[in-house]
Structure 1
Amino acid sequence: MASRTFGHVTVTTPDLDEPGLYLSRVNTLDPPRGSVRDFSYGEANLRSLDLEDTQLITGRISDLRCERVEFEALNLHGVEIVGSDLGAARWSESKLTRVVFRDCKLMGAVLHRLVLDDVLFEGCRLDFATFEKIRAAGPVVFAGCALTEATFADCDLTYAVFRDCMLTRTEFGPGRYRDTDLRGNDIAAVRGVANLSKVLIGPEQQPDLAHALVAELGISVGDD
C-alpha cells in the first residue's frame, strides 16, 4: 500500500500501478448505475461537468479542463486527479478517501461539507477557494500549494498538515485546528490568527505569527 509522510502525518495514497490492476479507459464519469471502477479518464476539454450521487472507485483523472463543475454527493475512493483544471468548482456533501490532487487548479472553488480521509493536495492552485464545513476524518495534507486569499470556514482540520504552501491572506475562520501543522510555511500574512488555537508551528515562525496578529488587531507600534 502506497503512502507519503509529512511531519507527524502519513497519508495512504492510491497505488494505481500495483501488479494485476488494469484501468479501463472510459468516456464518461456519469454511468447509469452510479459508479465507475478501475477507470482512466481525461485529456478532455468540457464546457460543463455535473455529477450527482456518483462513486468513483480506483482510477485516474488526468489533463481534464472544465469551464463549469458541479459535484454533489460525489464520493471518491482510491482516485488520483492529475494536471487538471476544475476551475471554480462547486463540490458538496461528499466523502473523499485515499485521494490525491496533483498539479490541479481549483481557483475560486467552493468545497462544502466534504469529509476527507487520506487526502493529499500537492502542487495545486487553490487561490480564492472557499472550504466550508470540511472535516478531516483522517490524514489531510496540503503540500506546495498556493492558497492565496483562500478561506477556511467552520472546518475541522485536526492534525491536518500544510507544508511549503503560499498562505498570503489565507483566512482561517472559526473552527477546530488542534495540532494543525503549519511548520514550513510563511504565515506572516495569514488572517484569523486568533482562531488558530493549539496549532503547531516552528520556533522561527513565532515572529511571523506575532506580525500577523498585530496586523489583524490593527495595533500600532510606535517609538517613545
Structure 2
Amino acid sequence: MTKSFKIELPKVPGNLQSGDFQDIYQEDEYYLSNCIISNAEVENVEIDKAVLSTVLFKNTTLINSRFEKVDMVDIIFENCDLSNACFREGIIHRVTFKNCKLMGVDFSLATLANVTFENCMANFTNFVEARLKQVFFNQTALQSSNYYNCEFKKIKLDNCELNKADFYQTSLKGIDISTCTYEVLNVTPESLDGCVVSADQAIGFSKLLGLQVKE
C-alpha cells in the first residue's frame, strides 16, 4: 500500500505445490500456473506469448531469456535474478518483484498494472513506451533506467536511486520523487510540470528552467 493509492497484491495462496519450469512447455502453448518454482536455473530461453498465472518464483534464475508478449497475473518473484530478461509487449498484472536482480530487463511497450518493485537492483531497465498504472518502486536502484514516452498513472517512487534515469517525453505530473536520490536526471521542463520534489531538488531543477537562485 502507498500513501495515495492501493496496490492490488498478487493473489498467490500459501498452499501451492512445487513445480518444474519445464512444465511451461505444453503441446500447443506455453502455460504455467498454480505452483512454486524454487532454485531453478533457466538461461537463454525464448518463449513468446507465454501465460503465467498464480506462480511463486523463489531463488530462481531467468537471465538472458525472452518472454515477449507474456501474460503474467498473480506472480511473485522473490530473490530471483532476471538480468537481461525481456518482457517486451507483455501484460503484467498483480506482480511483485522482491529482492530481485533486474539489471537491464526490457519492459518496453509493456502494460504494467498493480506491480511492486521492492528492494530490487533494476539499473538499466527499459520501460520505453510502456504503460504503468498503480506501480510502486520501493527502495529500488533504477540508475540509467529509461522511461521515454511512457504513460504514468498512479506511480510512486520511494527512496529509489534514479541517477541518469531518462524521463524524456514522459509526464511526471503528480509523481513524488522527493525521497529519491540522483546526481543527474534526464528530463525536460515539460516533463517536470506538476512533479513533487524536495527543496534541494527544486534548486537543482531551477537551473534546467533557466532560473538563477540567489544565496
Give the conservation status (yes or no) of the 8 Å contact 2:178–2:201: no
Which ranges of structure 2 fall in alignment gaps of 5 or more residues?
none
Give the conservation status (yes or no) of the 8 Å contact 1:102–1:124: yes
Give the conservation status (yes or no) of the 8 Å contact 2:203–2:213: no
- How far apart are 1:184 and its partner, in Å? 2.2
Structure ranking higher in strand proportion:
1
Equivalence for 1:53? 49
After superposition, where does 1:164-175 map in structure 2 within 5 Å? 164-175=159-170
One-letter code of the match for 2:201? D
Equivalence for 1:152? 147
Q: 1:219 to 1:28 in 2, by over 3 A?
A: farther
- How far apart are 1:221 and its partner, in Å? 7.7
Give the match's secondary structure for 1:37: strand
- How far apart are 1:9 and its partner, in Å? 1.7
Give the match's secondary structure for 1:68: coil
One-letter code of the match for 2:19? R
* 1:126-162 superposed Cα distances (whole Å, 9 cap, x missing partner): 11222111112x3111000001121211101122000
State how far apart, in whole Å, the 2-side matches of 1:209 and 1:168 are.
Answer: 16
Give the conservation status (yes or no) of the 8 Å contact 1:92–1:111: yes
Which ranges of structure 1 fall in alignment gaps of 5 or more residues?
none
* 1:103-141 superposed Cα distances (whole Å, 9 cap, x missing partner): 1111122221111111001111111222111112x3111
**Aligned residue pairs: how many?**
212
Q: Which moved more, 1:156-165 or 1:104-113?
A: 104-113
One-letter code of the match for 1:156? E
Tell me the C-alpha RMSD between the 2 structures. 2.4
Give the conservation status (yes or no) of the 8 Å contact 1:111–1:130: yes
Give 1:210's match in structure 2, choosing from 196, 203, 211.
203
One-letter code of the match for 1:50? E
* 1:42-72 superposed Cα distances (whole Å, 9 cap, x missing partner): 3122331322111101111121224411111
Give the conservation status (yes or no) of the 8 Å contact 1:56–1:75: yes
Give 1:75's match in structure 2, choosing from 46, 71, 79.
71
Equivalence for 2:16? 22
Q: 1:29 to 1:147 in 2, by over 3 A?
A: farther
| Structure 1 residue 178 corresponds to structure 2 residue 164 | no
One-letter code of the match for 2:6? T
Q: Which moved more, 1:53-62 or 1:185-194?
A: 185-194
Give the conservation status (yes or no) of the 8 Å contact 1:181–1:200: yes
Equivalence for 2:157? 162
Equivalence for 2:98? 102
